[in-house]
């Protein structure tokens, strides 16, 4: 049995999938399996996923598109590792991500999820002047910071652990029945954090960049803003109910950005 199962669901991800898979196979930590789930892709994603002749890579496919939450639950059921490392198909791992997160969870049996900071990047073609300028700006080295120790109060302000940075102690999820909620077509990761904390489980973030988040303009948070806003409000309502808050003032998203987004060069100074 591998120590870690890296889980990647994908749907029409041909433009991103190979660099994503390569970033996993190039890890310094070797005791893992890579579980790929094709969620009904109609592009060349399947061809790319099946091109790897590596015994660590395991390929599965849904007969039709089932959506993100259902696919993630299926991946968790297929996984055999003690720890589950999540990765969206358009993002990348740093080479030492698994090594550092495994060491963290091994040393902290009280922690269920460990995440990290994430660096923004854009590797997509830029055909117009506007897109070129936008790409230059994104690739300046912006780092999204997350708190070392996650609380429900901080999670009420916004997502406190980025999805592609999460490594999960699978036995805790099984014991507490934590699963992705299929009713969340988006923001399913935000609700997963709420469930984790509501069950009394701990979430931490390593204060280092261990993954790279590709901001390419087709991210769900951009293309489905209305759905994201509605789902975000649902999660926050559940958190307020858990915290028994009667008076609530929404935390401005622009303030979250000011608190968490920093240029790497400035952070080092």
**DSSP-assigned beta bridge partners for residue 203:** 113
d(CA 47, CA 105): 35
The number of angstroms, rounded, from the C-alpha of 230 to the middle of its chain's C-alpha atoms is 20
Query: Residue 137 pLDDT > 90, yes or no?
Result: yes
| CA distances, 99 to each of 15, 29, 153, 224 (Å) | 27, 5, 30, 34
Query: Residue 130 pLDDT > 50, yes or no?
Result: yes
The owner of tokens 């069950």 is 199
Kindly state the average pLDDT of the residues 252-261: 92
Q: What was the pLDDT predicted at 268?
A: 53
Q: What was the pLDDT predicted at 223?
A: 65
Question: Percent of the chain having pLDDT more than 70?
Answer: 97
Query: Residue 47 pLDDT > 50, yes or no?
Result: yes
Lowest mean pLDDT among 78-82, 127-131, 166-170: 127-131
d(CA 119, CA 267): 12
| Confidence label for 269 from pLDDT (cuts 50, 70 and 90) | very low
Question: Percent of the chain having pLDDT more than 90?
Answer: 86
**CB under 8 Å to 121, separation ≥6 — which residues?**
92, 138, 139, 212, 213, 214, 215
Query: Residue 188 pLDDT > 90, yes or no?
Result: yes
The owner of tokens 């060349």 is 44
Query: Residue 265 pLDDT > 80, yes or no?
Result: no
Which residue would you say has higher pLDDT here, 77 or 223?
77
Structurally, the chain folds into a number of domains equal to 1
* 124 in Cβ contact with 44 (< 8 Å): no
| Confidence label for 59 from pLDDT (cuts 50, 70 and 90) | very high
Query: Residue 135 pLDDT > 70, yes or no?
Result: yes
Element (H, E) at 58: strand 57-61
Residue 203: both structure tokens together: 């979430």
What is the CATH number for 53?
3.90.550.10
| Confidence label for 225 from pLDDT (cuts 50, 70 and 90) | confident
| Confidence label for 73 from pLDDT (cuts 50, 70 and 90) | very high
The pLDDT tens digits for 192-208 are 999 999 999 999 999 99
| CA distances, 199 to each of 25, 65, 177, 203 (Å) | 33, 30, 9, 11
**CB under 8 Å to 106, separation ≥6 — which residues?**
none
Supply the range of the domain harboring residue 124: 4-268
Q: What was the pLDDT predicted at 249?
A: 87
| Confidence label for 111 from pLDDT (cuts 50, 70 and 90) | very high
The owner of tokens 């390929």 is 59
* 209 in Cβ contact with 116 (< 8 Å): yes
* 165 in Cβ contact with 144 (< 8 Å): no
Going by C-alpha positions, the residue among 166, 146, 5 that lies closest to residue 101 is 166
Kindly state the average pLDDT of the residues 168-177: 98
Kindly state the average pLDDT of the residues 254-259: 92
Q: What was the pLDDT predicted at 250?
A: 87
Q: What was the pLDDT predicted at 264?
A: 82
Kindly report the average pLDDT of the chain as a whole number.
94
| Confidence label for 221 from pLDDT (cuts 50, 70 and 90) | low
Question: β-pairing, 142-144 with 202-214?
Answer: unpaired
Query: Residue 267 pLDDT > 60, yes or no?
Result: no
d(CA 168, CA 76): 10
């Amino acid at each position: 049995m591998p120590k870690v199962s890296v889980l990647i669901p994908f749907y029409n991800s041909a433009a991103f999938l190979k660099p994503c898979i390569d970033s996993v196979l190039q890890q310094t930590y070797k005791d893992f399996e890579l579980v790929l789930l094709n969620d009904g892709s109609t592009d060349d994603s399947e061809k790319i996923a099946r091109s790897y002749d590596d015994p660590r890579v395991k390929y599965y496919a849904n007969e039709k598109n089932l959506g993100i939450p259902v696919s993630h639950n299926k991946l968790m059921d297929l996984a055999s590792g003690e720890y589950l490392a999540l990765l969206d198909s358009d993002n990348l791992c740093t080479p030492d991500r698994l090594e550092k997160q495994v060491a963290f969870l091994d040393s902290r049996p009280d922690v269920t999820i460990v995440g990290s900071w994430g660096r923004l990047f854009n590797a997509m073609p830029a055909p117009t002047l506007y897109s070129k300028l936008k790409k230059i700006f994104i690739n300046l080295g912006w780092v999204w910071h997350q708190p070392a120790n996650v609380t429900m109060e901080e999670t009420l302000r916004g997502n406190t652990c980025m999805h592609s940075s999460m490594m999960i102690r699978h036995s805790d999820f099984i014991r507490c029945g934590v699963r992705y909620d299929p009713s969340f077509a988006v923001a399913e990761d935000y609700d997963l954090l709420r469930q984790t904390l509501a069950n009394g489980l701990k979430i931490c973030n390593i204060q280092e960049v261990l993954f790279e988040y590709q901001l390419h303009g087709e991210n769900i948070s951009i293309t489905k803003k209305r759905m994201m806003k509605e789902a975000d409000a649902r999660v926050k309502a559940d958190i307020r109910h858990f915290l028994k808050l009667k008076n609530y003032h929404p935390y401005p998203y622009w303030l979250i950005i000011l608190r968490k987004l920093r240029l790497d060069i400035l952070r080092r100074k």
